[in-house]
């Protein structure tokens, strides 16, 4: 069972490069994964149980990027990192094993620095596919329209049918 969450929300404005999401905040669940769910396999199972699928295990890219056709959840299963969330003018947040970040479509994320053992499980609601967006001027019109069309998840990736994501995003 996940720990009671300490959740911080961040609502980012369009910075001219990264559009972010005008209505949905990023949610940072600090220390929500108990030690038995901090393996990549256990974290993937937790997300899949709540219909956040199409998962992968890796890190976070070391350049600003976002996804315009899906929301994303990141579960930190090992190590720690300093991430910049919301684009170049966004928030610098230090994450570590046990933390989870729910990223709305359009919100930028970037790995500024991480430990050698940094490991992340990523997944998407309903197993949606993702795209890679870089904040280039020529991609903005299409990507902004895509963000508006992304459906709301039916479940919180950590808590299922109840949880902070559903409370904050509805």
In this predicted structure, what is the pLDDT of residue 47?
98
Q: What is the spatial distance between Cα 25 and Cα 35, in angstroms, rounded to a whole number?
A: 27
In this predicted structure, what is the pLDDT of residue 3?
72
Q: What is the spatial distance between Cα 80 and Cα 69, in angstroms, rounded to a whole number?
A: 27
Residue for token pair 């197993």: 127
Model pLDDT for residues 8-50, shown as the tens digit of each residue: 999 999 999 999 999 999 999 999 999 998 999 999 999 999 9
Please provide the DSSP assignment of 134-154 as one string.
---GGGHHHHHHHHHHPPPPS
**Topology at the third CATH level for domain 6-152:** Jelly Rolls (2.60.120)
In this predicted structure, what is the pLDDT of residue 4?
76
Q: What is the spatial distance between Cα 20 and Cα 97, in angstroms, rounded to a whole number?
A: 25
In this predicted structure, what is the pLDDT of residue 151?
97
In this predicted structure, what is the pLDDT of residue 138?
96
In this predicted structure, what is the pLDDT of residue 97?
98
User: Which residues, 6+ apart, have CB-to-CB distance to 95 below 8 Å?
Assistant: 28, 76, 80, 81, 82, 83, 101
H helix runs in the chain, sequence order: 40-49, 140-149, 164-169
Q: How do the pLDDT tens digits run along the chain, 170 residues long?
A: 687 779 999 999 999 999 999 999 999 999 999 999 899 999 999 999 999 999 999 999 999 999 999 999 999 999 999 999 999 999 999 999 999 999 999 999 999 999 999 999 999 999 999 999 999 999 999 999 999 999 999 999 999 999 999 999 98
Q: What is the pTM of this model?
A: 0.96
User: Which residues, 6+ apart, have CB-to-CB distance to 167 below 8 Å?
Assistant: none
Q: What is the spatial distance between Cα 65 and Cα 76, in angstroms, rounded to a whole number?
A: 18
């Amino acid at each position: 069972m996940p720990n009671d969450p300490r959740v911080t929300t961040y609502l980012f404005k369009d910075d001219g490069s990264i559009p972010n999401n005008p209505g949905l905040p990023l949610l940072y669940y600090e220390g929500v994964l108990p030690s038995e769910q901090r393996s990549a396999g256990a974290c993937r199972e937790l997300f899949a149980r709540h219909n956040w699928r199409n998962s992968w295990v890796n890190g976070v890219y070391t350049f600003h990027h976002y996804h315009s056709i899906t929301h994303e959840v990141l579960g930190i299963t090992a190590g720690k990192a300093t991430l910049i969330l919301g684009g170049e003018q966004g928030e610098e947040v230090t994450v570590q094993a046990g933390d989870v970040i729910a990223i709305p479509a359009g919100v930028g994320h970037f790995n500024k620095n991480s430990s050698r053992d940094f490991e992340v499980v990523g997944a998407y609601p309903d197993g949606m596919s993702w795209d890679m967006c870089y904040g280039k001027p020529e991609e903005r019109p299409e990507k902004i329209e895509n963000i508006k069309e992304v459906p709301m998840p039916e479940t919180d990736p950590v808590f299922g049918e109840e949880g902070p994501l559903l409370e904050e995003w509805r």
